[in-house]
């Protein structure tokens, strides 16, 4: 139904260029300013952190998107969150947006901006404006990977993906990039993602599709249970694929577009979880045969963020009791005497009771870089899942000295 675009990212769709440059917000050597530009004004939508505290750059983006539902470009800096600094942070974000709009010959309202990094420092807007100049001169179809590198903070690997598919005789492309390694939890925890498509999609449909997709992808990632103040995923749709605009939510065209958007975001979400700070393995928690969706989500979320479960995964210890315990304190109501727990394909607990399971077989599972934990509630037909990672010694090292 779709094909993966080799080395695809935010410039895989028609009409997009990008760049990532070093403008001096960090150390003058590392890339710290990204720009993604559409050659045609695009319909745009976004999903943002529900943290009451929000960075000043993000606040400006919320204002701009609500006013226009359009975008010509996205600019993101790393190295400074531009958060919790008062009016100076608002002014810095506005100066960068106004300069970028002038450079791109568009309105400031059509520029999406965000910042990521240390909270409590004002964005050096002069350095960021310099970044606009450098990025503008470097814009290219090949620049997506550099843009991805420029938004990374504690990430250890780049996170890019793109797919191509046919829609009513037209070739549609969707590509994206994401950053995030720590402070990640549902309701948009510290991660930033930029998605581009050449499909023609109305702003209303785009917003609804993105929110629905984020709920089952990005909002199913938990690295450490924390959420930050600059989190967002945004999408631009410039229509250059030439399809009739998707404007009916119940149409098969919208359903296919949403399905492909989910493919891209799920891939990126799994990469976010796998690259958790200090992580050595991806942990997928599946709760199946639950009484309802809420029960399944609540239990999966508790297990995914449990420090004891995560440390057991790092230590390759099949300590299933921690899994059942996390389910028990999750807040979900259930009968523990019907619950089975699996680590990979090894059943470790049946009907809430210990089994004499094969420890060696469980160890084989736990030594893999991806581990699936399954909790079978045997109470209905609902299910949900979360992606998380183990907690290693390096997680403490990274976060114990983040500002330095």
Options 190, 196, 213, 298, the catalytic residue: 190
Q: Per-block average pLDDT, block size 10, for the chain (404 residues)?
A: 94 98 93 98 94 94 94 97 97 98 98 94 98 98 97 86 98 94 48 95 97 92 68 96 98 98 95 75 95 96 92 94 97 97 98 97 96 98 93 63 52
pLDDT confidence of residue 1? 85
Signed CA dihedral, 175, 81, 403, 184: sign only: negative
pLDDT confidence of residue 190? 46
pTM: 0.88
Signed CA dihedral, 358, 359, 361, 362: sign only: positive
Q: Is 171 a catalytic residue?
A: no
Q: Shortest CA distance to 120 belongs to which of 77, 151, 89, 75?
A: 89
Taking a C-beta distance cutoff of 8 angstroms, is the pair 213, 261 a contact?
A: yes
pLDDT confidence of residue 184? 47
Q: Shortest CA distance to 108 belongs to which of 78, 144, 76, 65?
A: 65
Q: What is the pLDDT of residues 62-120, one digit of tens each?
A: 999 999 999 999 999 999 999 999 999 999 999 999 999 999 999 999 999 999 988 99
pLDDT confidence of residue 264? 98
Q: Cβ atoms within 10 A of the Cβ of 316, count?
A: 17
| Helix residue ranges per DSSP H, 236-330 | 252-274, 293-304, 307-314, 320-329
Question: Could you please report the per-residue DSSP string of 322-342?
Answer: HHHHHHHHSS----GGG-EEE
Q: What is the pLDDT of residues 248-274, one digit of tens each?
A: 999 999 999 999 999 999 999 988 887
Under DSSP, the state recorded for 139 is: -
């Amino acid at each position: 139904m779709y094909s993966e675009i080799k080395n695809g990212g935010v410039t895989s769709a028609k009409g997009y260029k990008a760049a990532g440059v070093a403008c001096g917000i960090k150390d003058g050597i590392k890339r710290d300013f990204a720009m993604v530009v559409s050659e045609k004004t695009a319909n745009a939508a976004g999903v943002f952190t529900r943290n009451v505290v929000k960075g000043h750059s993000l606040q400006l983006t919320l204002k701009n998107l609500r006013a226009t539902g359009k975008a010509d470009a996205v600019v993101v800096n790393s190295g400074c969150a531009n958060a919790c600094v008062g009016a100076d942070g608002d002014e810095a974000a506005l100066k960068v947006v106004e300069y970028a709009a002038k450079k791109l010959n568009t309105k400031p309202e059509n520029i999406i901006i965000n910042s990521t990094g240390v909270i409590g420092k004002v964005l050096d807007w002069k350095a960021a404006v310099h970044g606009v100049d450098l990025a503008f001169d470097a814009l290219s179809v090949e620049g997506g990977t550099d843009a991805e590198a420029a938004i990374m903070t504690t990430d250890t690997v780049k996170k890019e993906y793109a797919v191509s598919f046919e829609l009513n005789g037209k070739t549609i492309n969707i590509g994206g990039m994401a950053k995030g390694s720590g402070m990640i939890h549902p309701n948009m925890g510290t991660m930033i993602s930029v998605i581009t498509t050449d499909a023609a999609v109305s702003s209303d449909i785009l917003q609804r599709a993105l929110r629905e997709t984020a709920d089952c992808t990005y909002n199913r990632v938990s690295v450490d249970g924390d959420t930050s103040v600059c989190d967002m995923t945004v999408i631009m749709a410039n229509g250059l694929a030439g399809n009739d605009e998707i404007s009916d939510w119940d149409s098969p065209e919208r359903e296919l577009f949403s399905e492909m958007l989910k493919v891209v975001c799920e891939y990126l979400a799994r990469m976010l979880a796998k690259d958790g700070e200090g992580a050595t393995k991806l942990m997928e928690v599946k709760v199946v045969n639950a009484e309802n969706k809420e029960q399944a989500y609540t239990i999966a979320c508790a297990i995914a963020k449990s420090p004891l479960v995560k440390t057991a995964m790092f230590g390759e210890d099949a300590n299933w009791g921690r899994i059942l315990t996390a389910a028990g304190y999750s807040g979900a109501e259930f009968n523990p005497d019907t619950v089975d727990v699996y680590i990979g394909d090894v059943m470790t607990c049946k009907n809430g009771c210990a089994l004499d399971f094969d420890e060696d077989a469980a160890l084989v599972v736990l030594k893999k870089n991806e581990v699936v934990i399954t909790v079978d509630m045997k109470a209905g037909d609902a299910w949900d899942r979360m992606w998380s990672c183990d907690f290693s010694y390096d997680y403490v090292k990274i976060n114990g000295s983040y500002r330095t």
